[in-house]
Structure 1
Amino acid sequence: MGCFASVSALGATLTLAAAGDGHVTIGTDAPFPPYMIVDENGGLTGFEQQLMAEICSREHLACDWRRVAFEELIPGVMDGRFDVVLGGMAITPERRALVDFTIPYQQTDDTEWFVGPPGAPAPDSAHIAVQSGTLHEAWLRDEGLDYRAYTTEDQTLRAVEGGAADLAFGPFEIRPDLAPRFAAGGLDLLYEVQIGDEGTAMAVCKGNDDLLARLNGAIRAMQADGTIATLESRWF
């Protein structure tokens, strides 16, 4: 799957290259249930893993998965390490300036939550932990709030559990798998804000029109035949 493009981002011009025809390298951040789950054997499963596996089957693509930190996904597709990246990734104008997105295959609630112990200060007077590279970090930065970014979600929550931060900010309302951890750590969903986005999608490097068209064609077909609805029912 060829990908050659030149894009200007943040003042730097990058020349991008991707894998050969028929081979696609996929970058993702895992675990991020239910989108990406690491099973007991160390393999990947989950909503987006099964979605992408079905696309690879329908499009006769040889797909190779790579796990990296979320903050490396967009830079990785821009510099040619990956042909496509996914991981519960929301489409935002800032990201659109850097990469091309498929059509969205899921719409999510705009409500995002701050998690912390009861009595924790409000976000405007708190020290906040957040995962690096997420739309949550971008929102905190735009709002001028006090925060520290961590590489993983686990590190983000550990900061609150250990007292290094007052609150953690992230997509916690869609994560029932975290309920036991919140209960054990005495954490609650405390404060909510609305952060709009354009839906959840995959990203490719700018100019990779062939791969983008094939992904979009498969996604549209899977929306039409009910495959995506079946996967959502299975995982959400």
Structure 2
Amino acid sequence: MNMSLAVGEVRFSLVVPAWNEAARLPALFDSIDAARGRWILAGRDPQAIEIIVADNGSNDGTPTIAAMRGARVAEVLPRRIAAARNGGAAVARGELIGFVDADSRIHPDAFLAIDAAMSDPAVVGGATGVTMERWSAGIALTYALGLPVVWATGFDSGIVFCRRADFRALGGYDEDRAIAEDVDFMRRLSRLGRSRGQRLRRLRRARTVTSTRKWDEHGDWHYLLQMPAVGWRLLRDPRALPDFARRYWYDGR
């Protein structure tokens, strides 16, 4: 725990980019309440955690739900995930900052685990990692095929966190990237850490539960059948947005 913080100062800002997430936000906020409860039981100041919903042009009541659950709401345009993340970060007050998708549920120990990890000056940032909300053969194989990349690079998802000062020094997420902006950010954060003798940290005991709604919509094997072509296009042009990727990440709901 950072003992230098005065009562009422913000230790950790959690940014939730959201577009038409009214159906999913309540479950996320229930999990946030549980994690905040453990934080308080550990003797921590409840005001040290703030939640920011970066609303990216929703028309389904997402900002109203977020405000009712105690979050600060930042209205962000244009509609692009990197812009939403950066827009939420722009109003953050925490010494630490993290990002989680609106269709997730965080672990009850998430805030405590992130606080402990970032109290180590040898850690530049990291991620909690994820587990899936449901499993099948196709989802399990997709998950397993991604693990070697995670092990080799230290890049992961779930809640991605770092010091807010480092986030600003890196310029945040690349808003020219319609997708894969999170991988690019982790790469730059890792490089910054290496330049200072720091490392990324994965919090495998505080994994975030991530939605499988893309598998529900496109089929449990779709990632293996359709994503290789998208990946090839992105290798050739990181700022390209193939039609399938546009439909996959930006259309619907």
Task: Please state which structure has a larger fraction of its residues in strand.
Answer: 1
Greater length-normalized contact order (CA 8 Å, ≥ 6 residues apart):
1
Query: Considering the TM-score relative to the shorter chain, is it more than 0.5?
Result: no
Normalised TM-score (structure 1): 0.29
Task: Please state which structure has a larger fraction of its residues in helix.
Answer: 2
